[in-house]
């Protein structure tokens, strides 16, 4: 394990800055970065580092079922082991991809039989070594953070897929069939394609009912023909009116009646109104 102490006092001095820390308690800020590391500060940091290292070593010994001496000699000496190397020294049982581990967890979730055998996790130690088996309980005990991350990833993927399914059903709605699309979207299982088919079937059924209702109804009442339009009367012009008045006055004069134009117009109006 490794840690570091950074002294920034010289850097602050060059910038004209001086930081003074006020503390309470002997070990508070015993390894402050605003000054050189004291021997007491170094010893405190080293003690913390040794404690964390011992927890790490003991955890490996416990979960890999080996002695502390074996861990110190072969597993926790500061080296980084990759793939096959980690298998050979006993740090891991096998190597798997994240996809393979997710599939393993999915298979375990789908299995509802009590005591069902755990699915096998692919390993790569050699061609003859048997396939490793891991259960959710083992993963929870040995790598709880990984299990939590995988479960959260699965939940996020499930939410995204469900949102896409709901939106697809709503997008398939035809005018007048929004309620049906919403029902399909909220049932938790209908896919957008099946929702579109259901809407088309509902449209066909409604059209068939409408056609049946029209065919079963009474015969339509015949529309009466419109009466012919009245013949338009010829438009009377001032010249025609004057000519008619003169003719009427001449006729009356021949009968021995001398009348004025006003009398002629009044009598003609009366005759036309009969």
Residue range 215-250, pLDDT digits in tens: 776 666 666 665 555 455 556 677 787 788 788 888
Looking at per-residue confidence, does 228 or 269 come out higher? 269
65 has pLDDT over 70: yes
Percentage of the chain modeled with pLDDT above 70: 84
Q: What is the model's pLDDT at position 235?
A: 60
Q: What is the model's pLDDT at position 141?
A: 81
Average pLDDT over residues 23-45: 92
266 has pLDDT over 60: yes
Residues 94-153 have pLDDT tens digits of 888 888 878 877 787 777 555 554 445 555 544 444 445 677 887 788 788 888 888 888
Average pLDDT over residues 45-72: 93
Q: What is the model's pLDDT at position 129?
A: 45
Looking at per-residue confidence, does 253 or 273 come out higher? 253
211 has pLDDT over 90: no
Q: What is the model's pLDDT at position 270?
A: 81
Instruction: Please name which of 194, 203, 197, 195 lies closest in space to residue 175, comparing C-alpha atoms.
Output: 203
Using CA atoms, how far residue 121 sits from 49, 132, 153, in Å, is 35, 5, 19
* Run of H or E residues at 231: none
Instruction: Please name which of 190, 136, 201, 144 lies closest in space to residue 167, comparing C-alpha atoms.
Output: 190
208 has pLDDT over 50: yes
Looking at per-residue confidence, does 257 or 21 come out higher? 21
Q: Enumerate the β-bridge partners of residue 120.
A: 133
Percentage of the chain modeled with pLDDT above 90: 25
Structure tokens at 124: 């790569």
Q: What is the model's pLDDT at position 103?
A: 82
Spatial distance between the Cα atoms of 60 and 107, rounded to a whole number of angstroms: 28
Q: Is this model's pTM higher than 0.75 or not?
A: no
Looking at per-residue confidence, does 214 or 85 come out higher? 85
15: left (phi over 0), alpha (psi -120 to 50) or beta: alpha
Spatial distance between the Cα atoms of 146 and 252, rounded to a whole number of angstroms: 126
Spatial distance between the Cα atoms of 143 and 1, rounded to a whole number of angstroms: 20
Q: What is the model's pLDDT at position 231?
A: 52
């Amino acid at each position: 394990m490794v840690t570091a102490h950074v002294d920034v006092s010289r850097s602050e001095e060059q910038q004209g800055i001086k930081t003074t820390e006020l503390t309470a308690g002997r070990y508070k800020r015993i390894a402050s970065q605003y000054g050189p590391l004291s021997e007491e500060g170094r010893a405190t940091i080293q003690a913390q580092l040794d404690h964390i290292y011992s927890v790490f070593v003991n955890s490996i010994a416990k979960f890999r079922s080996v002695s502390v001496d074996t861990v110190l000699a072969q597993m926790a000496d500061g080296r980084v082991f990759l793939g096959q190397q980690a298998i050979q020294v006993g740090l891991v049982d096998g190597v798997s991809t994240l996809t393979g581990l997710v599939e393993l967890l999915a298979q375990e979730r789908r299995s509802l039989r009590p005591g069902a055998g755990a699915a096998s996790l692919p390993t790569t130690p050699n061609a003859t070594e048997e396939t490793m088996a891991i259960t959710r309980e083992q993963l929870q005990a040995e790598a709880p953070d990984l299990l939590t991350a995988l479960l959260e990833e699965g939940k996020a993927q499930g939410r995204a897929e469900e949102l896409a399914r709901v939106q697809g059903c709503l997008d398939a709605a035809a005018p007048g069939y929004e309620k049906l699309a919403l029902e399909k979207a909220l049932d938790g299982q209908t896919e957008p394609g099946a929702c579109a088919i259901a809407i088309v079937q509902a449209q066909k059924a409604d059209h068939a009912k409408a056609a049946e209702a029209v065919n079963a109804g009474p015969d339509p009442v015949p529309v009466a023909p419109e009466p012919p339009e009245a013949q338009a009367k010829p438009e009377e012009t001032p010249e025609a009116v004057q000519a008619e008045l003169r003719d009427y006055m001449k006729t009356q004069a021949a009968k021995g009646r001398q009348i004025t134009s006003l009398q002629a117009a009044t009598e003609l109006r009366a005759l036309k109104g009969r």
